[in-house]
Structure 1
Amino acid sequence: MALLGKAAVAMWWNVRSEQRAEFGDWHSHEHFPERMSIPGFRRGSRWTDAASAEGFFVLYELEEYEVLTSKGYLDRLNAPTPWSTKMMPHHLGMVRSQCRVAASFGGGVAAALATFRLSPETGREAALQTHLERTLGALASLPGLTGAHLLLTDTPKTSVPTTEQQIRGKDGAADWIVLLCGYDPDVVERVIGDQLSSSALRGAGAMDDPAIGRYRIAFTMTPQDVPAS
């Protein structure tokens, strides 16, 4: 999938099994339509951990970086609905990154997704970014794959804990994020072991081993999908 904008919010968390049914209902029928009604939100997608039904990855694609500090977005973050207030404490181990899109290749929404959370070694930032952009550009059009993207976390300078964050507790944050999408999970897995393996990323300038997640699509929505009120 080509990302629909210049910024994004990338989030990972877990939901216990006893809350999953209500979470899916709330997130699909209230929360996504609410977010997609905010000016500047272009697409939302929710992905389920391929190995554990408790894990989720959610991506909001934003038209511009400034949407992150817009009144429309902050008003929603600081005035959660009663249902949101009930569900926020069930977002366990939240990692939430506000990002600029550094590179995006491909198109469409595919079935399989791998997420990589990594950090560059000091002094090797430019070399790693150049390597990733070159690699991701070549991967996106391979058989079995549909998209490859690089996000760089850039938390707004004016960012303060919102009401939603206060309900959840302290969120973690990623640093650099690579997303790899495809219609063939086996091809995605091969790339994880080859071009985007831990050793290949370390050799290109990444620090330590990346945190890698494997997901399948659960739901996606754009502003055009929001039911008329």
Structure 2
Amino acid sequence: MSLLGTACLAMWWDMAADMRPEFEHWHSHEHFPERLALPGFLRASRWTSATDGEGVFVMYELASWATLSSPAYLASLNAPSPWSTKMMPHHRHMVRSQCHVLESRGVAVARQALTLRLSPAGGRKAELQQALKALAAELVLQPGLAGMHLLQHQAPAIAETTEQKIRGGADQGADWVLVVCGYEATVLDALAQGPLGEAALVALGARPGAVGGRYALSLSGMPGDMQ
């Protein structure tokens, strides 16, 4: 697999423009290093919305799904730093998906990322997974594109954490997550209107109503980068 490990934590939220400078300082120089110091956290990447000015997409690549309920991670979630406590309420409209990796082709970090939050239609899960797997093998070889990764959410059986309480309660989740990485924004935009557009996804076996967005890379690092 191209993603590091067999699990991912994928998150989306909005961050107001007046908080963006402090958020990026905190997230880059405290939060990412804190998370990457935990066992099982293999790589962290942050992208910012290329279209709406406030959107943020973050993906942590994890050794295994069990990392999401590990004692070290839960201790961190339940003991946020003073700076984290200040910043967490500004994570608006949080969507947080704790995922198994179903398919991973090509690179996991590139200049541009298209994300899609979707669900399979009733009785069509295997059909949709197979169709997206075949599409991934084809798309990663096309000019402008470099990687495609399919994730499936499964919430671990853990209590609501202190960080969630600071943000205002339980987070929303995305059922399936599709992340397409590339180096040409126009190619990703065309993909979102064509082979991965609403009509095409429904034809492949998805429910109507997938939520998509294109993001530009802000920062990516691995544990050794941030010690």
TM > 0.5: yes
**How far does residue 190 in structure 1 lie from its aligned partner after superposition?**
1.5
Distance, in Å, in 2 between the alignment partners of 1:165 and 1:31 is 15
- 1:80-159 equivalence runs, <5 A: 80-107=80-107, 109-156=109-156, 158-159=157-158
Q: Secondary structure at the match of 1:80?
A: coil
Distance 1:90 1:163 in 2: 15
**Quick check: 1:16 aligned with 2:20?**
no
Unaligned runs of 5+ in 1: none
Deviations 1:6-54 (CA, angstroms, capped at 9, x unpaired): 0011000011111111101000000000000001101000100001221
Residue in 1 that maps onto 2:167: 168
**Could you say what secondary structure the match of 2:210 adopts?**
strand
SS at match of 2:45: strand
- Report the Cα distance in structure 2 between the residues aligned to 1:161 and 1:15, rounded to whole angstroms: 22
Indicate if the aligned counterparts of 2:108 and 2:181 stay in contact, CA closer than 8 A: no
Structure 1 length normalisation: TM-score? 0.96
- Give the secondary-structure state (helix, strand or coil) at the position aligned to 2:73: helix
Report the CA distance between 1:72 and its aligned residue: 1.1
- Whether contact under 8 Å (1:202, 1:209) holds in the other structure is no
Measured after TM superposition, the shift of residue 108 of structure 1 is 5.3
Q: Secondary structure at the match of 2:165?
A: helix
Q: How many residues align?
A: 226
| Regions of 4+ moved over 2 Å | none
* Distance of 2:195 and 2:108 partners within structure 1: 22
What is the identity, as a one-letter code, of the residue corresponding to 1:117?
A: R
Q: What residue in structure 2 maps to residue 32 of structure 1? A: 32
CA distance in 2 between partners of 1:115 and 1:107 (Å): 14
Identical residues among aligned pairs (%): 50
Unaligned runs of 5+ in 2: none
Structure 1 residue 82 displacement after superposition = 0.5
Residue 109 of structure 1, CA deviation:
2.1
Is the Cα contact below 8 Å between 1:6 and 1:65 reproduced in 2? Answer: yes
